[in-house]
Amino acid sequence: MNKTSWTMTASLLLAGSLLLSACGAGSGASESVKGNTGAASPATGPIQKLVMASWSKPIAEQTNLYQAETQGWFKEKGIEFSFVPGAGGGDAIKNILTKQADIAFTDPGSLYFALEKGEKLRVIYNIYPQNVFNVVSLKDKGIREPKDLKGKKIGVYSLASGTRHNLLVLLHEAGLTEKDVTIIETGVSNFAPLIQGQVDATAATDTGLADAKLKGLGEVNELRVADSLNVPSDVFVVTEETFAQKKELLRSFLDVYKRSAQWMNEQPEAAAEVAVAKAIDGQDKKRNEQIIRLRNASAQTPGGQPLGTLDAALLQQGADLYKKLGLIQKELSLKDAVTNELLPTGEQTKK
């Protein structure tokens, strides 16, 4: 997930807040929204509850889920779907560990931290295979390569955030460490300090940068973490217990999720309209469409593999680097935790 005046800066502060942790959900997208399909067929078997814990509250980039609810695609599969909001990937994992939810919409970093503590987890779907983190600077700072960050002041949301973790990855690839820079916690309003000259660069995400540009941010240089290590941004995670006991339910959920992701990819304009009614940050349809297009791009798998395909070796590479950077202390083995067993295949997924 900028201006030369304080008015513009205030707008950026609000946009950043909504991006990282929105609050409250809208309801009731219109059934006549362009691109909606007909009513879903009723389920023939018993209805089963499935609760998804998210890293955020309902935001525009998750519009495919709202569409699936509105169109009855979950009910068609015999699923009573619920969304539990959170404030970060760690919240999502905590909710599945405490049985408040069945499946977590979370990030690899939060996964690594939980595995290090000995939690028994399985990764079952690659939501965003593309790394969406970046480090942004104004053109006049002359920061064109990661090595140019040496000696600079760099803003992050917090020291426990993905912005810091991915900044460390970028620095590592340039042969630098955080000792070579000054890291400053800015909160989610990270572009305001950049404009005001309080930092030389800020660690953010593609959607954060898009928001800033919509608010008038001038020309910038963007260093993409994906160019250094393209570890996924978000994945679906379950406990081993849930994986063993609810395979068919999880498989059905992933089938609906993939169907909805395909819909959003094919009809971003319709999705942008759905987000107006459903997402806490969805008031601006133009912004919705831009955010949705970015998330559609980040959902694409390398090499044209089916949506959701996981690469255990790449997640292992991320875990190894987290240990090298001191973010975790133990060596992790991801090969037994990562599985493509439940992925929808073939015509099982509808367009």
Task: Report whether pLDDT(81) > 90.
Answer: yes
Q: Are residues 199 and 108 in the same domain?
A: no
What's this model's pTM, rounded to 2 decimal places? 0.85
pLDDT score, position 41: 57
Q: Are residues 124 and 44 in the same domain?
A: yes
Helix axis angle, 312-324 to 108-116, nearest 10°: 70
**Within a domain: residue 17?**
no
Q: What's CA 286's distance to the chain center, in Å?
A: 20
Last residue of a domain, one of 167, 198, 227: 227
Domain boundaries, position 146: 6-10+132-227
Task: Report whether pLDDT(143) > 50.
Answer: yes
Q: What is the pLDDT of residues 22-36, one digit of tens each?
A: 333 333 333 333 344
**Within a domain: residue 349?**
no
**Number of residues that make up the chain:** 351
pLDDT score, position 266: 97
Q: What is the pLDDT of residues 233-270, one digit of tens each?
A: 999 999 999 999 999 999 999 999 999 999 999 999 99
Q: Are residues 196 and 278 in the same domain?
A: no
Q: What number is the average pLDDT over the span 203-232?
A: 95
Q: What number is the average pLDDT over the span 309-314?
A: 97
Q: What is the CATH number of the domain that holds 179?
A: 3.40.190.10
**Within a domain: residue 151?**
yes
Q: What is the pLDDT of residues 161-170, one digit of tens each?
A: 999 999 999 9
Task: Report whether pLDDT(5) > 50.
Answer: no
Helix axis angle, 6-21 to 206-214, nearest 10°: 150
Q: Are residues 243 and 117 in the same domain?
A: yes
pLDDT score, position 346: 55
* Least confidently predicted of 44-58, 137-151, 315-329: 44-58
pLDDT score, position 175: 96
Q: What is the pLDDT of residues 105-125, one digit of tens each?
A: 999 999 999 999 999 999 999
Q: Are residues 36 and 75 in the same domain?
A: yes
pLDDT band at 193 (very low <50, low <70, confident <90, very high): very high
pLDDT score, position 115: 98
pLDDT score, position 27: 33
Q: What number is the average pLDDT over the span 317-327?
A: 96
pLDDT score, position 13: 35
Q: Residue 327 has which token pair?
A: 């973010």
Q: What number is the average pLDDT over the span 76-81?
A: 97
Ranges assigned E (strand) in the chain: 48-54, 79-84, 103-106, 121-128, 133-138, 153-156, 182-185, 201-205, 220-224, 234-239
Task: Report whether pLDDT(206) > 50.
Answer: yes
Q: Are residues 207 and 249 in the same domain?
A: no
Q: What is the mean pLDDT of the chain?
A: 88
pLDDT band at 46 (very low <50, low <70, confident <90, very high): confident
pLDDT band at 44 (very low <50, low <70, confident <90, very high): low
Whether the CB-CB separation of 37 and 72 falls below 8 Å is answered with no
Q: What is the pLDDT of residues 271-305, one digit of tens each?
A: 999 999 999 999 999 999 999 999 999 999 988 89
φ and ψ at 166, to 5 degrees? -75, -30
Last residue of a domain, one of 202, 227, 252: 227
Q: Are residues 113 and 149 in the same domain?
A: no
Q: Are residues 251 and 197 in the same domain?
A: no
Last residue of a domain, one of 227, 254, 284: 227
**Within a domain: residue 246?**
yes
CA distance 331 to 237: 19
Q: Are residues 245 and 336 in the same domain?
A: yes
pLDDT band at 190 (very low <50, low <70, confident <90, very high): confident
Query: Tokens 């998210």 identify what position?
Result: 54
CA-CA-CA-CA torsion sign (297, 303, 305, 309) = negative
Number of domains in the chain: 2
Q: Are residues 162 and 119 in the same domain?
A: no
Q: Are residues 269 and 280 in the same domain?
A: yes
Q: Are residues 172 and 312 in the same domain?
A: no
Whether the CB-CB separation of 232 and 108 falls below 8 Å is answered with yes
Give the number of other CB atoms < 10 A from CB of residue 32. Answer: 7
CA-CA-CA-CA torsion sign (223, 227, 229, 235) = positive
CA distance 302 to 127: 13
